[in-house]
Structure 1
């Protein structure tokens, strides 16, 4: 949290400084807002013509400041990087084009002034703020995990801890967990029928004979 807060504060200070720097002398007695930003991309380079407010370097610095503010609101590292690159890139490009006109970049009364250093520092500070931001983390919504079904013991009742359980009440398992579908011990250990007592086979034959008689 402190990391994000520090990055936001530094980015806001850098955006305000970059925007305010163009209202002071950049070279000689000429404000930064008086340099036409389109001249940075032409073959003629920087001329002596003074530009209006939005035709000068105020416009690219305003774009950099707007990107920085948007990056703070959205916690976007990418937008903060773009803001820093815009402020730093425009300032460096202006210095290159100014050097092509004057063949020198002296620091002093008739040369570079401190607002140029402020613009450079603002761009670097935005890049530093982008590196210090934690970014925006999107929380993925996970589907609820179904609770495991309780273990069932023999004959469908709930199994006690440590008790072997059966997957199906009609197919009991032995101690090793193997399912036996028959013959089961209760079938092999069934008592033999007494003489004269109807067995399962005789009962079934009687049922079939009764059905034929009824038909």
Structure 2
């Protein structure tokens, strides 16, 4: 039984393919034929007034802006807001709390005393000079804390001795000993306060005596033969 084929069921290998294609396009058939144009092309009608187009100078010449300068500036409608200047940055100041370290009870090399009494002894009134010299001669440099207080205590006693002598001379000349007595009392109180501060482990550094204390610490020591 032969299968019924439609319009688009074409096969290029079919011997009737060309004939069927021409028939579908209308070639060789009774389709309409394109007719040639036999009359001349009609011109487009022009405008009634051709004078402006014919005369190139009839129009206003083009204005040049390459060298033009603006006489007045255009007023700006935008007004920038005003701001208060920012406050300068100030970092928070941190103050480290004073470190309190009480002297230990260990024995100090060279003298056998505990560290607490070895640091307090140089500030003892009247006996501090001898204690400072003994510690500077016997305590090795491996004990910097003890030697520091010994040197500072010795410098303090020397300063008190020199100033006390000066007040005595002034009192002998002026005939009054009030100044010398007040100085001795103030010196005694200062030595007691120094002993208490050192015993509590608070930092105790006398800036005015830094150089003489350093000299005593550098030059006074026990040298083994």
TM-score, with structure 1 as normaliser: 0.24
Give 1 or 2: higher helix fraction.
Answer: 1
TM-score, with structure 2 as normaliser: 0.23
Larger radius of gyration: 2
